[in-house]
Structure 1
Amino acid sequence: MKCAFTPRADDRPVSPSPRVLIASHPFGESAPEALELLRATGAELIFNPHRRKLTRDELLDLLDGGVRAAVASTEPYDANLFAARPALRLVARTGVGLDSVDLEAARAAGVIVSCTADAPADSVAELTVGLAVALARHVVRADRALRAGRWERRTGWLLAERCVGIVGLGRIGSRVARLLRPFGCRRVAHDIDSGVAPRARALGVELLSLAELRREADIVTLHVPLTERTRGLVDADFLAALRPGALLLNTARGPVVDEDALLAALRSGHLGGAALDVFEQEPYRGPLVAEERVILTAHMGSCSDRGRRAMELGAARAVAAFLSGEAVPGRVV
């Protein structure tokens, strides 16, 4: 099956070979074969020189000169960008989240969008459970104290005696539930999709309303996509409804949590702690860095060797298929 497309006019100089931007970083460290696959297409590869998430201006600059495909991270792709860089015909996401890509604008502009939906799921789930244990047992606080010359033996929670609330029982949330089972904790979940009920039963997870979950859970972990419905989901009212001393984990998307409300809940003492891998603005340099009861990581949920390899290979295969005129795997638009 062919994936036909019609080239659009572009008055910038175009390389004789198709040009591919690798915006995602790191890329090729976990999967050198992904780079080999891209090079085998004969494409000219353009790498992210900033070694971090690109700003809009940086992305526009790197896409200049007739770039046809982008191996994308979470930098923004919207209608204005598609209009400004009409040579771009494929956005191949390394990961599952598509909130950084305006899918309707891509469809209108004739831009193909793909993702590697399953590739990061195990990696994010493992990091989530690791953060839950580290937060419940004050691991990071003890480490900081010891490095500062203080010997602090802190008493934390045993997960077996607690209730963990999973908001979103999809690819990642269901894996978190599976990994938590041996700890012996009570596991409850909320999902707007009633179709997850068989999955919940198979995992031994109790489905609750969101209000019930907030009342019951000692630890709340977020695993929802960023949509208009979930943007700002965890606001002051959400946090106030949690049990006193509850812990919050976010390895989903930063804007799901109102960071000002989170800071206020921590400083008031109502929230016992938080662990965040994602933020409204990344790289993050906000006031949460000064909070002792917060663990912060640099959007590295997918960054396991196997997870990165699967994502990089998936995106590279999408680009290779596109350049050869074949059906693009993982295509969503």
Structure 2
Amino acid sequence: MPKTRHRVVVTQRFFDSATLDFLKHCGCEVIIAELAPGVADGSLSERQLIDLLIDADGWILGHANVTASLLGSLPRLKVISRRGVGYERIDTVAVEAAGKVATIAVGGNDASVADHTIALMLAVCRKLKQCQAGLSANDWSIPLGGDLYRKTVGIVGLGRIGKGVLLRLAGFEVKPLIYAPRPDSSQKANGGQSCFVDLETLFQESDFITLHAPLNPQTRGMIDSRALKSMKAGAVLINTARGGLVRDADLLKALQQEDIAGAGLDVFESESDPSLSAVTEQLIKLPNVVVTPHAGASTVEGLNRTNLIAAQCVVAVLEGRSPPGHCVIADGRRHTVAKENT
């Protein structure tokens, strides 16, 4: 085993031994942050993060906020590696300006989230929440559910996870409707040219609507009161992407007024805006809403895959190499070289 050359701090739980061994074999000292139960790195203050990372060369993180101020306090840090794919909390401009590298773990949890999406669809339409609640109260009456089989399913976004959901839905013989702002040839081949529709058509005709779009200024709040009112009364909304895609207060009202039939939610606006926690609590209590705690990617296999990809990106940067291009979201090393040459 090579002599330890680099220090890597991990601020995520469920870091597997095989990935830990990989990092050690590559000459890394690994520090796994001991977070209090129920606390994730996304809720840590800047001061807490600095205390954890002041001597780190590499950082494997979850949902922590990566800001210019934080990076300015961590001159030794070279690489920020997200164990996951969403990176709206990472200031990529600040990463580049600081001469550091930021990566995401592309491909590690796609299958896990796609599986979870189908699970939520079935749980809502088969009224599993009501079934369990009834049996817990010794009520054996049967809530009448519905089928996913041969329904129209609208898929908003056809990236890696959206494609995985489409593949899984084939077994249910559904009619897919796909919205992608700028579909490329590979997406059209995967989804079929005739399946692509505009967003308004997708909302109006789908029995199930599942969100797989990134969160950005164009998509934030795309599911609002207007969009919800355009959906079928029997429609089911599934969100395993990002909470900010849906205006949760509008969704709550639509469900209470029976404008749509139900929802399956793995993410909430309150994850990034605690002032909306009361809305989340009300959604959780509704009988026709099945919820999970942003757990779509959290399988043993999925986390092991994303752990390794994140670790491989860290090692590549610390050894002076480039991580896979599809994993890099910011690379400021060229700015550092340019400054040194001026």
**Interval of TM-score (by shorter of Structure 1 and Structure 2):** 0.7 to 0.9
Select which of 202, 209, 220 maps to 1:231.
220
Letter in 2 for 1:188: L
- Deviation of 1:143 after TM superposition, in Å, equals 1.2
Structure 2 counterpart SS, 1:177: helix
Q: Distance in 1 between matches of 2:26 and 2:219?
A: 39
Worse-matched range after superposition: 214-223 or 101-110: 101-110
Rounded Cα–Cα distance in structure 2 between residues aligned with 1:210 and 1:106: 34
Which of 102, 107, 114 in structure 2 is aligned with 1:125? 114
Could you tell me which residue of structure 1 aligns to residue 183 of structure 2? 194
Greater fraction helix = 2
SS at match of 1:67: coil
Q: Does 1:35 align with 2:32?
A: no
Aligned length: 314
- Take 2:252 and 2:230, find their aligned partners in 1: how far apart are those partners? 15
Which AA in structure 1 matches 2:125? A
Find the aligned partners of 2:217 and 2:10 in 1 and give their Cα distance: 29
Between the aligned partners of 1:71 and 1:106, the Cα distance in structure 2 is 15
Is the CA contact 2:156–2:180 (under 8 Å) kept in the aligned structure 1?
yes
The runs of at least 4 aligned residues of structure 1 exceeding 4 Å deviation read none
| Residue matched to 2:10 | 22
Measure, in 2, the Cα distance between the counterparts of 1:174 and 1:328: 24
* Counterpart-to-counterpart distance in 2, 1:209 and 1:182: 25
Identity of aligned residues (%): 32
1:280 aligns with 2:275: no
Name which of 307, 325, 331 aligns with 2:328: 331
Moved more, 48-57 or 128-137: 48-57
Structure 1 partner of 2:40: 53
Give the structure-1-normalised TM-score. Answer: 0.88
Shift of 1:93: 1.2
Shift of 1:53: 2.1
Instruction: Report matched runs for 1:232-251 at 5 Å.
Output: 232-251=221-240
Q: TM-score, normalised by structure 2?
A: 0.86
Distance in structure 2 (CA, Å) of the matches to 1:183 and 1:62 = 51
Q: Who is 2:157 aligned against? A: 168
Q: Deviations over 1:40-92 (max 9, x none)?
A: 34433222322542224165244343222110112211222212333222111
Given that 1:21 and 1:62 are in contact with CA atoms closer than 8 Å, whether structure 2 keeps it comes out as no
Provide the secondary structure at the position in 2 that maps to 1:322. Answer: helix
Amino acid in structure 2 at the alignment position of 1:112: V
Q: What is the one-letter code of the residue matched to 1:253? A: R
Query: CA 1:236/1:90 → structure 2, altered by over 3 Å: closer, same or farther?
Result: same
CA contact (8 A) 2:177 2:196 kept: yes
What is the root-mean-square deviation in Å for CA atoms of aligned residues? 2.0
Q: Match of 2:177, SS?
A: strand
Task: Please give the alpha-carbon distance, in whole angstroms, between the structure 2 residues aligned to 1:137 and 1:265.
Answer: 20
Distance in 1 (CA, whole Å) between partners of 2:204 and 2:172 is 21
| Unpaired segments ≥5 residues, structure 1 | 1-15
